Amino acid sequence: MSIKIFHTADIHIGLRFSGRDYPQDLKERLVEEPLETLKRMVQTANGRKCDLFVIAGDMFDRTNIAKTEVRKAAQALNEFQGTAVCVLPGNHDFIEDDPESIWTAFREKMSEHLLIFLERPEPVSIKIGERDAIFYPGACRTKHSSENMIGWIKEAEKKKEALHIAVAHGSVEGVSPDMGQNYFPMTVDEMRQSGVNFFLLGHTHIQFPKSGGSMNPVFFMPSTPCPDGFDCMHEGYAWIIEAMDDNSLKYESIRTGTYTFKTWEKKVYSLQDLERLKSEILTLPKETTLMKLKMTGRLNNTELEMLPDFINGIKESLAYLEADTQDVILNIDKDYIEKSFSSDSLPYRLLSKIENSQNELALQLAFGLIEEAKK
């Protein structure tokens, strides 16, 4: 029989979203979203009849979140209908030798027959039908480390014909941003030589491989299931991985997120450009789209005066908008020159001559100098 695994990580329950001036109602929804995402993932795993639900670290955003949130997470996971929920502490929710830790509260609320807590560097065997799945944990015990937690796996004895799965949290050379080598750095060669069938990883908020398939990757990264900022512009994903009888793999990317964070850069040179931009924005889901918009270009005086109202209008079509329009400047064209300067004035003659040469940069510089001279 095959073994079907739902693989997620980096849910970050307890994240406060305090870094930006979000409207209060939106902020409250964003704070609730990681837990809601976990609930939806459990429902998806049940609907797809997954045998195992694996969280490869950072289910929680930090080690001191409210115990009520910890218990709600446990309640959500208790709804899983498969064989086991396998949970690994990551670098944000690392394991502590403290009876009052979040993990104590979590384990107290979790169903004993369901939870496999991957906290120690030792194999953990799970029976699924007639097959054995053996897990090799690489749990974090600090927030930062220049050494990973998977070094022991290579020397561990491997039972023949079992499915061997390592679960770890940290960066991967060549895939994850970790310039300082502070996040439990791993290499593909080290994973390949460890003797397991594959690694289920957490920490990096992008998905790897980039799409589903039937090859046998050395490792999987699910990405974060619920995007939480403008440095995370995907829709949130997890993996469903099916290990066949011969341990070959089929895997499918599952979209999990609700909110999307978009960063757009748009050039505008006319009212028509503004209307096109508005039409693009109106196609986006209003309640769940957050946007940083950088605008550049040149508009005539009338269009520039309309720009604040335009921004306020599109703001109503999004859950959140940060708009930067400082690089949208006045378009100094023939019409503007004729309306602003008398025909016998030096500025008129100078600007008209440059305008006729179609040197736009020189025209803007000359206009700037004229404006400075007026002060």
Maximum Cα interatomic distance, the chain, rounded to a whole number of Å:
96
What pTM was estimated for this model as a whole? Answer: 0.90
Residues of the chain with pLDDT under 70: 337-338, 347-348, 351-352, 354-361, 363, 366-368, 371, 375
pLDDT at 190: 98
Q: Are 343 and 320 in contact (CB under 8 A)?
A: no
Q: What is the CATH T-level fold of the domain 3-255, as seen in this structure?
A: Purple Acid Phosphatase; chain A, domain 2 (3.60.21)
Q: How far apart are CA 289 and CA 274, in angstroms?
A: 19
pLDDT at 240: 98
pLDDT at 366: 66
Which residues on neighbouring strands pair with residue 252, listed in sequence order?
Answer: 240
Residue 262 CA, chain-centre distance (Å), reads: 11
pLDDT at 355: 66
> pLDDT digit string (tens) for 129-150?
999 999 999 999 999 999 999 9
Which helix (H) or strand (E) segment is 271 a member of? helix 271-282
> pLDDT digit string (tens) for 318-373?
999 999 999 998 887 777 766 777 777 876 677 667 666 666 667 677 666 776 77
Q: How many residues are present in the chain? A: 375
Q: Where are the domains of the chain?
A: 3-255, 260-374
Residues 6+ apart with CB under 8 A from 111: 78
Q: How far apart are CA 29 and CA 38, in angstroms?
A: 14
pLDDT at 345: 80
Q: Are 77 and 86 in contact (CB under 8 A)?
A: no
